[in-house]
Amino acid sequence: MQEDSRRLVLDHLRAVTPALESLVQNAGTLAGWGVEMADRLMAGQRLLAAGNGGSAAEAQHLTAELVGRFDGEREPFSAISLHAESSAVTAIANDYGFDHMFARQVSAHGRDGDILILLSTSGKSPNLLHAVDAARAAGVTTWALTGPGPNPLADRVDDYVAIDAKSANAQEGHLIALHAICRAFDAEVHRRREAQR
């Protein structure tokens, strides 16, 4: 029994490799997102983030890194994890349906020049697809981290990184991607602050 469990664990760990390879292939995109986020958030724009289930937790992880801090001390930046607004989420889902839970919030909070980042291992969640439509109408730039492509979310957003791995490993890859984005973001904020001295 224990040997079977060990084999399953090893199989899972080996399946992380394709996720890492996908991220390495998309390093330029992730770095670009970090620099673009720094540019916009330092100018007063905000980041909105959304996902379902484990992807919601990943979205909230990102917003915590921006409002709090990632590696070193710096000022806080505006970042809102849409699923975490529990009263709004339940009211909107009740009144408008679960599929519009994020779109309604994007319409309320999103401003021209803001960024909406969406996380989904399937890339098929209707509530994220509707959020993209609401973002487009508000002039909000849309990015997505997904599982394998092609998928509807990757096809609809302005830019995406599709991680070619099993669902659980793709989601693990999303956290690595978010930390990579934060690394580029913090470096760009630091570079600009030093240039202003």
Q: Is the pLDDT assigned to residue 192 strictly greater than 90?
A: yes
pLDDT tens digits, one per residue of 114-156: 999 999 999 999 999 999 999 999 999 999 999 999 999 999 9
Q: Contact at 8 Å (CB) between 60 and 81?
A: yes
Q: Contact at 8 Å (CB) between 104 and 134?
A: yes
Rama region for 83: left / alpha / beta (φ>0; ψ in -120 to 50; rest): alpha
CA 111-116-118 angle, to 5 degrees, is 160
* Pair of tokens at residue 13: 């760990």
CA 25-29-32 angle, to 5 degrees, is 145
pLDDT tens digits, one per residue of 44-54: 999 999 999 99
Q: What is the pTM of this model?
A: 0.95
Give dist(CA 94, CA 112) in Å, integer.
28
